[in-house]
Structure 1
Amino acid sequence: MKAIVLCGGKGTRLRPYTYSIPKPMLPLGKKPILEFVVNNLKHNGFKEIYLTVGYLKDHIVKYFGDGSKFGVKIKYFEESREMNTAGSILPCKECVEDTFIVVMGDHLTAANPMKLADFHKKKGALATMALKRTGVPLEYGVAHTDREGRIEKFEEKPIVQNLINSGMYCFEPEIFRYIKDGYDFAQDVFPRLLKEKKKVYGYIFNEYWVDIGRVPDYEQLNHIISIVDLVTH
């Protein structure tokens, strides 16, 4: 099974770090973010990986080459411009003939994408979104009242459980019929699939997951990994 990793964005929210380095190549300890992504795919049985590249692509191509030193086969597909999340996989269309997954080049997770694919196939789905269970604390206390207005229960800043889009997907090749240049998976593709009542499922996982999307997120995670490297070496 093939995996497509999206690596073409400019990472504007991570500036100034991304002025000279593409976001997937930002270091976490001694490795770039993308190496963690590739290693997770390899560990879970993905041997053929497509990287969509654009902004400062040479950093990625030079580091990973054909993928042989990482135990996988890597092929590159260039975005002529920023094509958004869904649009960026269009250059891969002719090389995808069976079920495939899409992951982000700047997300770290311990989840097994092959389990996502297995779930997807069992459901006979066209598209499956991996959903991370997470708790979001509310900013204020919440009161629960009866019909008369009497307070029965009060919770100070309760944590609301939600299922969030992790940016990891599994698709059938038919999905390309629903993608145009500039389309976003969450804003364009999935809403259209739901509107047309296509078979769309959500695969829920509890493993570690983080989106390294902002400077504080990156700096905190890099600090933690640096400490782990120091302690274990």
Structure 2
Amino acid sequence: MNDLIKTSFNDRPPKAVILAGGRGTRLMPYTTFLPKPLMPIGDNPILEIVVRKFSECGLKNIIISVGHLAELITTFFGAGEKWGVDIEYVVEDKPLGTMGPLHLIQDTGENFFVMNGDILTDLDLPALYKGHVESGAIMTVATCRRNVDIDFGILSYDAENRRIDSFKEKPTLFYDVSMGIYVLSKRCLEYIPKNEYFGFDNLITRLLQKGEIVRAHPHKGMWLDIGRESDYRQANELMAQAYREGKNAII
């Protein structure tokens, strides 16, 4: 996990927007009193891991979108001096989804990161950004392959005569999924309504309908979404193993 950032930015690093305003309903009841981004992975909140890794690769201008239990996040991170970054906050007075909060930011820059605040990954962020800029895409989505085990035998048949032509016993299907990490061009804001709930699904659908280029950036390494209870347990198991082996899994 300490290889989260493999390379670094050179001149003019972009801004990074971290989404930390959700209620974390999948981790209830823990998130009743603690916002999901402050859930601990070992001895550190997941959001601290994200902030520290942004800092390590040279991303010093960080904007955190907060909502649910916002005061706990702002109190913990302050202005970011502890991590060598400048942190600003935008506050969601009502839930705005993944992309809705971007209109609360005064200046995003020409291209910028957007990342969920509950992601643990060894994705090479500078490589993601470089690929986005060079491609000319309006948005680049980091993707990871996930498998889904089907607990039933799957039949395929002709709809007209109902003749079965294939059968697979409890197959495993593979899908490329969004990791919750994106690089957006500023033009994306033209497609996002102000002061409305607007998610990643809404934005990518609108962009594709308008014929815009949206690019995938496949990642074959580690990715855990601690908003999922199974991933949260796995993240803490990995951290405990690292401690037992005498490794510093955070820095």
Check whether TM > 0.5. yes
- Most deviating of 58-67 and 102-111: 58-67
Partner of 1:17 in structure 2? Answer: 30
Select the structure that is richer in helix.
1
Q: Structure 1: 5+ residue runs without aligned partners?
A: none
Q: Equivalent residue for 2:110?
A: 98
Structure 1 position 63 matched with structure 2 position 76:
yes
Q: Which residue of 2 aligns with 1:79?
A: 92
The alignment yields a C-alpha RMSD, in angstroms, of 2.5
Equivalent position to 1:212, from 194, 217, 226: 226
Offset of residue 226 of structure 1: 3.2
Deviation of 1:166 after TM superposition, in Å, equals 1.0
**Letter in structure 1 aligned against 2:21:** G
SS of 1:102's equivalent in the other structure is: strand
Does structure 2 retain, via aligned residues, the 8 Å contact 1:183–1:189? no
1:213-228 equivalence runs, <5 A: 213-228=227-242
**Pair 1:109–1:115, CA change in 2 (3 A):** same
Task: For 1:166 and 1:176, locate their aligned partners in 2 and report how far apart those are by CA, in whole Å.
Answer: 21
1:167 pairs with 2:167: no
Structure 2: gaps (5+ residues): 1-13, 158-162
TM value normalised by structure 1: 0.88
Do structure 1's residue 37 and structure 2's residue 29 form an aligned pair?
no
Is 1:8 the counterpart of 2:17? The answer is no
Relative to structure 1, is the Cα distance of residues 83 and 141 closer, same or farther in structure 2, using a 3 angstrom cutoff? same
Alignment deviations for residues 126-180 of structure 1 (CA, whole Å, 9 cap, x no partner): 11111112222232345789xxx798x8754333222101111111111111112
Greater displacement, 13-22 / 36-45: 36-45
Aligned partners of 1:78, 1:17: CA distance in 2, in Å?
A: 22
Shift of 1:225: 2.1
Q: Which residue identity is paired with 2:240?
A: S
| CA distance, structure 1, for counterparts of residue 176 and residue 164 of structure 2 | 32
Is the contact made by 1:49 and 1:74 (CA closer than 8 Å) also made in structure 2? yes
Normalised by the size of structure 2, how large is the TM-score?
Answer: 0.82
Determine whether 1:188 maps to 2:202: yes
Q: Distance in 2 between matches of 1:43 and 1:161?
A: 33
Contact 2:66–2:90 (CA<8 Å) still a contact in 1? yes
Aligned AA (1:63) = F
Instruction: Find the partner of 1:176 among 175, 183, 189.
Output: 189
Kept after mapping to 2: 8 A contact 1:126/1:174 = yes
Whether 1:124 and 2:136 are equivalent positions in the alignment is yes
What's the CA shift for 1:205?
1.1
Identical counterparts, % of pairs: 34
Please list the CA deviations of residues 28-70 of structure 1 after superposition, one character each: whole Å capped at 9, or x if unmatched.
Answer: 1100010111122223331111100111112111211111211
1:53 to 66, 75, 79: 66
Say how many residue pairs are matched: 231
